[in-house]
A and B are shown apart, each in its own frame.
Chain A
């Protein structure tokens, strides 16, 4: 088993190819790997519960983290997040990056 981290920095309403990251994360998870999607910058705009996105990732068992700094910059409160998405510091991303057997992809 490998670990995969997908770092999503793009707003899903601006970049339609964020769907590709979702599809790939689910497909990798279905193959038995550990998958984390870390939302950062405008990527956190998808984390709002009112948007109705990313539920499929949570259902698939993908770990969903949203960067606290990016959330604060955009005025998104913790209680607004889709269930299953956890607010996280950049430290968590660094910790994940230096885990052995981990592949990281920035989008």
Chain B
């Protein structure tokens, strides 16, 4: 069977939009099907794999950090990189990272430029751009 490869461009920062959740679901489903996935994170999306993210308690409900079991995008991305191994490539836009001071990211996330996105898109079966509103 011909190799299938999907590229996604993401722009939303974490915890702002359901777009991030849907994008992570698409990546997960594609990897489960054996499809190669490239992600180019642009603008606020470079904060999705930020290592400094921390789960928190919920003072309104009175729950602890453990009880709340708050999901973080960095954890999802770490898991996807671990599951996908060489089938998932995640590239953060370097300029966007520098602007935001967002260089401390989880292991496996690479630094790149829009030229990488062009190359990814050129080599993919399809490319899906998920823009901010």
Instruction: Give residues in A with beta carbon < 8 Å to B.
Output: 7, 9-10, 40-42, 67, 69-70, 89-91, 93-95, 97-100, 102-104, 106
Contact = CB atoms under 8 A, between A and B. Distances in A.
Nearest to A10: B133
Contacts, number: 53
A104 B18 contact: no
Nearest to B22: A40
A90 B29 contact: yes
Contact of A94 (B29, B130, B133): B29
Given A42-B18, A69-B25, A102 B33 contact: no
Contacts of A99: 126
B19 interface: yes
Interface string B117-131: 000000001111111
B35 interface: yes
Interface of B: 4-6, 18-19, 22, 25-26, 29-30, 33, 35, 125-131, 133
Question: Chain B binding site: helix, strand, loop or mixed by DSSP?
Answer: mixed
A94 B26 contact: yes
B125 A98 contact: yes
Contacts of A106: 128-131
B22 A9 contact: yes
Contacts of A90: 22, 25-26, 29
